[in-house]
Amino acid sequence: MALIVQKFGGTSVGTTERIRNVARRVARWKAMGHDVVVVPSAMSGETNRLLGLAREVQSVPSPRELDVIASTGEQVTIALLAMAIQAEGLKSRSYTGAQVRVLTDSAFTKARILHIDEERLRRDLAQGIVPVVAGFQGIDESGNITTLGRGGSDTSAVALAAALKADECQIYTDVDGVYTTDPRIVPEARRLKTITFEEMLEMASLGSKVLQIRSVEFAGKYKVRLRVLSSFEDEGEGTLITFEEDEKMEQAVISGIAFSRDEAKVTVTGVPDRPGIAYAILGPVADANIDVDMIIQNAGTDQLTDFSFTVHRNEHAKAMEILQKVKTHIGARDIVGDNRICKVSMVGVGMRSHVGIASQMFRTLSEEGINIQMISTSEIKISVVIDEKYLELAVRVLHKAFGLEQA
């Protein structure tokens, strides 16, 4: 007998019929003798709808109030799911984050889980009750409702699995596992039987939304056995996130391609090439709490340099505004923005022992006439910034060039 945490994403609980399907799946696991804790997201589209209502009323809504409204989506699905599980003849009870006490910090709309009181859930499990816990939400020290950032139900599930020392955390979604790239962009993409934790962390942080990055961080920290599966199929192993590289069955150099459209670039042109200039440019950006991703500085011959960096597209306008203000102070010629860029990244632990991956990537892109604007590398990934109009083409040709469709 095992203890399993099962998380169901928005599409998986998108209608009452699908909620009944989820309940049937839970009943099957119970019938096999397992203990199950269920974590649903809101019905698909619901969180967007709620946030849209907020923006109709206030152009920049208060983050505290946004969390109060956004968290209601999950309150609907926990109740419906508990009812559906009861209708299967089982005992079930729904809980909001506050009722369990999923304690978070007070960073509204992107709160971090600090602690979970798992006592109540354990008592339920001991009595054969299936607890249904709202994903995405928690409560801070002062009793304010918080949410964990978009896609945060994954993190709720993994954190609950860690707190309960569950045998496995299963993430049920609308694809049957983690693929070599988003199967919506490349239909030939192949499901991976396993992916290492490190690779999954890179894929998630570089834009693959199949798992929220914090859920992968949690799984790594607490060694939670994590699996991604389809909620629309009864059979299937999905994808297991492994901790040991030798557990990885496929020995490909590249495991996957991730991409992100949420990118924007700022270029500061004609600044004096002297010590302290990077700090003068990025200091005010950091002070405004804006995360900078890639950075490029070109030393010119005339003692002047161009300095470019990328930020999340949502923060582009703010970053541009900050630099316009310090333009004269730093002695820049101009501040130029571009929010039509994207980032494409290749990820694989096999890169550690293989050279030439970067050059093969650059050649493949050049053969399609795709200009690379920025490059960044680490031991297990290579990222390039390109014009967003080439995103799908780039992902498709790289997927083919690296033979990712083959097992």
* Site for ligand ADP, rule CB under 6 A: 9-12, 41, 151, 173-175, 178-179, 181-182, 184, 208-210, 256
Nearer of residues 73 and 177 to ligand ASP, judged by Cβ: 73
* Residue least distant from ligand ADP (Cβ): 9
CA distances from 200 to 78, 171, 275, 350 (A): 28, 14, 37, 14
Q: Of 16, 351, 42, which Cα lies nearest the Cα of 202? A: 351
Binding mask 58-97 for ligand ASP (x = CB under 6 A): ---------------x------------------------
Contact 256, 179 (CB under 8 A): yes
Q: How far is 254 from 238, CA to CA, in rounded Å?
A: 19
The listed partner (ligand ASP, Mg ion, ligand ADP, none) that binds 47, CB under 5 to 8 Å by sort, is ligand ASP
The listed partner (ligand ASP, ligand ADP, Mg ion, none) that binds 357, CB under 5 to 8 Å by sort, is none
Nearer of residues 157 and 285 to ligand ADP, judged by Cβ: 157
Q: Of 3, 54, 67, which Cα lies nearest the Cα of 29? A: 3
Question: Which residues, in sequence order, are bridge partners of residue 228?
Answer: 171, 239
Contact 113, 149 (CB under 8 A): no
Q: At closest approach, how far in Å is the CB of 317 from ligand ASP? A: 23
Amino acid identity, residue 76? Answer: V
Q: At closest approach, how far in Å is the CB of 330 from ligand ASP? A: 38
Sole residue written with tokens 């389809």: 230
Among 136, 259, 307, 390, binds ligand ASP (CB under 6 A): 136
Per DSSP, the three-state class of 72 is helix
Nearer of residues 39 and 365 to ligand ASP, judged by Cβ: 39
Per DSSP, the three-state class of 170 is strand
Q: Of 374, 391, 383, 366, which Cα lies nearest the Cα of 265? A: 374
DSSP-assigned letters across all residues of 288-347: TTPPEEEEEEEE-SSSEEEEEEEEEGGGHHHHHHHHHHHHHHHT-SEEEEEEEEEEEEEE
Nearer of residues 136 and 390 to ligand ASP, judged by Cβ: 136
Among 6, 11, 47, 345, binds ligand ASP (CB under 6 A): 47
Q: How far is 148 from 135, CA to CA, in rounded Å?
A: 9
Among 41, 92, 170, 173, binds ligand ASP (CB under 6 A): 41
Q: At closest approach, how far in Å is the CB of 115 from ligand ADP? A: 24
Sole residue written with tokens 């967003």: 388
Contact segment (CB under 5 A) with Mg ion among 118-126, 150-158, 231-239, 346-354 equals 150-158
The listed partner (ligand ASP, ligand ADP, Mg ion, none) that binds 199, CB under 5 to 8 Å by sort, is none
Nearer of residues 138 and 152 to Mg ion, judged by Cβ: 152
Per DSSP, the three-state class of 317 is helix
Nearer of residues 203 and 281 to Mg ion, judged by Cβ: 203
- How many CA atoms are closer than 13 Å to the CA of 244, on its beta-carbon side? 3
Nearer of residues 200 and 254 to ligand ASP, judged by Cβ: 200
Binding flag, residue 14, ligand ASP (CB under 6 A): no
Q: At closest approach, how far in Å is the CB of 178 from ligand ADP? A: 5
* DSSP at 127: T
Binding flag, residue 207, Mg ion (CB under 5 A): no
CB atoms < 10 A from the CB of 76, how many?
15
Binding flag, residue 135, ligand ASP (CB under 6 A): yes
Q: At closest approach, how far in Å is the CB of 9 from Mg ion? A: 5
Among 14, 40, 73, 151, binds Mg ion (CB under 5 A): 151
Q: Which two tokens stand for residue 328?
A: 């004269």
* DSSP at 185: T
- Binding residues for Mg ion (CB under 5 A): 151
